[in-house]
Amino acid sequence: MADWVLHVDLDQFIAAVEVLRDPSLRGRPVVVGGNGDPTERAVVATASYEAREFGVRSGLPLRTAFKKLPDAVYLPVDHALYEAASAEVMAVLRSFPVVVEVMGWDEAFVGVTADDPVAFARSLQEAVLAATGLHCSVGIGDNKLRAKIATEFGKPAGVFELTRANWVEVMGHRPTSALWGIGAKTSKKLAELGLETVTDLAAASPDVLAARFGPRMGPYFRTVALGAGDTVVSSTPWVVKSRSHEKTFQQDLESLEDIRREVVALAHQVAADVVAEGRPAVRVGVKVRFVPFFTKVRLMKLPAPTSSADVLADAALVVLDRFEHGRAVRLLGVRAEFSDDDVEPKPSRSTY
């Protein structure tokens, strides 16, 4: 018997839940986002596999998705429905003799001791499907990093094992963007250093990386390329780190007065969430998306923790003043961040 980390990832989760609600959607391209009106400004929350074949993916503007795929079914986001479906799945996972660490609506790490992790993973898949009608992919690893990456090789509805034994064989020749936590921008910067593949990055000098990306992140990227990761799966309940609200405007905001008014309104919505959370905010952030699609975020620490709507609104306006204005605005967002002091730290043990 050995200890394993499994990463359970629900396939096309939001779209799959919508198909369960309306079986007539099965096999059709489904796009979920905003109010479900592709002529409005909003982004894709998720797309079914049938829609992804046409290049429609999460984060794509709905209007762009509509140009690519006008015949798709466009649906509004229904948070309550997805939360309920997610809770059912997590309850199924917890019915097994495992430790479940929820990472979001559609994914969780599972810590298990088993002599055949593949068979165990398939039993999880079968149980989730039988109870909820949802398919999931399962990545098996000897740490969280490898389990998370393994899931991508298992999609859809499959199982894949990635450990120290096959890490180089599976990952060595792949681009650095294949690693968890390294996006396209970082991958491009790594390429400028001559680091194209995972093997290149794993063999890179920590000093060179630190000089380019900083003393913490530079060496960390190399560690990721080596496949190192946390092995501890904790059942400690996930605690939100922030609350936020965003608003996309169907007509661009030209007046600074209008922009300030909308920021205040968003701050009051966030404040209501902060009060409901029962934890005061310690930082306030403002997100501004200028025309045509240029996004900036600013953040400030509050003088003292607070749940006051007026204080949060005043702070948001202070942050707003730190932006260079002059362009029309198509989206605004306000975020309140909580302190980590009241969250019990999880034990961590890293392994290659």
Residues catalogued as catalytic: 107
Which of 177, 178, 197 lies closest to 187 in space, CA to CA? 177
Cβ count near 44 (within 10 Å): 22
Q: Are 242 and 200 in contact (CB under 8 A)?
A: no
Structure tokens at 85: 């479906």
